[in-house]
């Protein structure tokens, strides 16, 4: 071995020894500077609200500031890509919603990232039950009566959604496929205008998050027939879809924390542990319930399994409904 090669080997060994010595220390001191929390939407929505609540709690526990960065655009694709391509050092995380698991079925190979390979799940933070609501003029007081009505009058019921390919749209499509009914889909530019037209009787039914529809249910402007998931503490008198005889209608938008793939396991574990504790106990849990969320706080492994299940489920619904987006 010549002197140049010998020197290279010595320097290489020294670098490896230094890295080995540095890794435990880095894990012990994580985090030692502020974290970035990317939200793939503009400020003010559910994902943004959840991210800011988490940032306040986790910031205090980690001893570092969590800076929320809104990166909206492209049906959440722009911000989600920013999460996946960030440096995997534990200092960039993202708060995603159901678009994360719906978009693979909608866009396929056109997505600029791989939903499974390019991200490290941290925790399924919460779900948001959806309310199946109808206009008071609809002669149905239960979900099964609505199904019977739709079968008796095919194409006579209009379903308003928050837009093509949204979680609300796919909840309605799942209802259509599960119940075997023919209902007209009317996409709007967001959930609010669809609720306005539901109240006005321009459409006969919709699915909505609890906070968006709660006041209208209590005032009698709309009628709640069932709630997806485990139901809602804010609407205890409304049966779940399973109780209503439609267990296959299980759409409940998810909200989770992810990081770039190859983020250090120690960082993922700490973030997951603190997040789970924050959302399952104390003031944050109560606040999430008040906002209509169903707190979860899963492990990274459980969230990874949920992502795979949700991607497969919504891809099936999208394909069966022949749903296309530009």
pLDDT one-digit tens code per residue, 23-42: 343 567 899 999 999 999 99
Residue 173 pLDDT > 70, yes or no? yes
By percentage, how much of the chain surpasses pLDDT 90?
90
**Cα torsion 88, 117, 165, 311: sign:** negative
Residue 8 pLDDT > 80, yes or no? no
pLDDT one-digit tens code per residue, 244-294: 999 999 999 999 999 999 999 999 999 999 999 999 988 999 999 999 999
CB 191 within 8 A of CB 216: no
**Cα torsion 150, 154, 156, 159: sign:** positive
Buried b / exposed e over 110-129, threshold 16 CB at 10 Å, is eeebebeebbbbbbbbbbbb
Residue 22 pLDDT > 70, yes or no? no
CB 136 within 8 A of CB 162: no
CATH 3.40.190.10 fits 130-227, yes or no: yes
> Which residues belong to CATH 3.40.190.10 in the chain?
130-227
pTM of the predicted model, to two decimals? 0.89
pLDDT one-digit tens code per residue, 40-72: 999 999 999 999 999 999 999 999 999 999 999
| Helix, strand, coil shares, percent, the chain, to 5 | 45, 15, 35
CA distance linking residue 136 with residue 119, whole number of Å: 44
Token pair belonging to 66: 């969590």
pLDDT of residue 300: 97
> Which residues belong to CATH 3.40.190.150 in the chain?
33-127+253-320
Q: Could you tell me the CATH superfamily of domain 33-127+253-320? A: Bordetella uptake gene, domain 1 (3.40.190.150)
Distances in whole angstroms, Cα of residue 239 to Cα of each of 119, 205, 212, 235, 300: 36, 17, 18, 9, 31
Q: Residue 77 half-sphere exposure, CB side, CA atoms within 13 Å? A: 14
């Amino acid at each position: 071995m010549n002197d140049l090669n010998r020197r290279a080997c010595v320097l290489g060994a020294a670098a490896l020894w230094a890295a080995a010595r540095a890794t435990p220390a880095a894990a012990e001191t994580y985090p030692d500077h502020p974290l970035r929390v990317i939200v793939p939407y503009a400020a003010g929505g559910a994902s943004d609200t959840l991210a800011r609540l988490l940032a306040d709690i986790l910031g205090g526990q980690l001893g570092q500031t969590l800076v929320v960065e809104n990166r909206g655009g492209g049906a959440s694709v722009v911000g989600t890509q920013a999460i996946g391509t960030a440096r995997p050092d534990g200092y960039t995380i993202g708060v995603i919603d159901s678009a994360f698991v719906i978009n693979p079925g909608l866009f396929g190979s056109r997505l600029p990232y791989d939903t499974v390979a390019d991200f490290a799940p941290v925790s399924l933070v919460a779900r948001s039950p959806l309310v199946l609501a109808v206009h008071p003029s609809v002669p149905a007081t239960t979900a099964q009566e609505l199904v019977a009505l739709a079968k008796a009058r095919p194409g006579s019921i209009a379903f308003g959604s928050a837009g093509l390919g949204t979680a609300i749209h796919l909840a309605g499509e799942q209802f259509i496929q599960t119940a075997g009914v023919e209902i007209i889909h009317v996409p709007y530019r967001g959930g609010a205008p669809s609720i306005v037209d539901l109240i006005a009787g321009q459409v006969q039914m919709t699915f909505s998050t609890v906070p968006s529809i709660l006041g209208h249910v209590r005032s009698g402007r709309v009628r709640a027939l069932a709630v997806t998931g485990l139901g809602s503490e804010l609407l205890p008198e409304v049966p779940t879809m399973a109780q209503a005889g439609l267990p296959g209608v299980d759409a409940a938008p998810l909200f989770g924390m992810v990081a770039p793939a190859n983020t250090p396991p120690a960082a993922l574990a700490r973030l997951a542990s603190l997040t789970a504790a924050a959302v399952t106990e104390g003031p944050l849990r109560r606040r999430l319930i008040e906002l209509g969320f169903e707190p979860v706080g899963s492990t990274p492994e459980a969230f990874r399994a949920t992502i795979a299940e949700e991607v497969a489920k919504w891809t099936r619904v999208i394909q069966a409904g022949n749903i296309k987006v530009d």
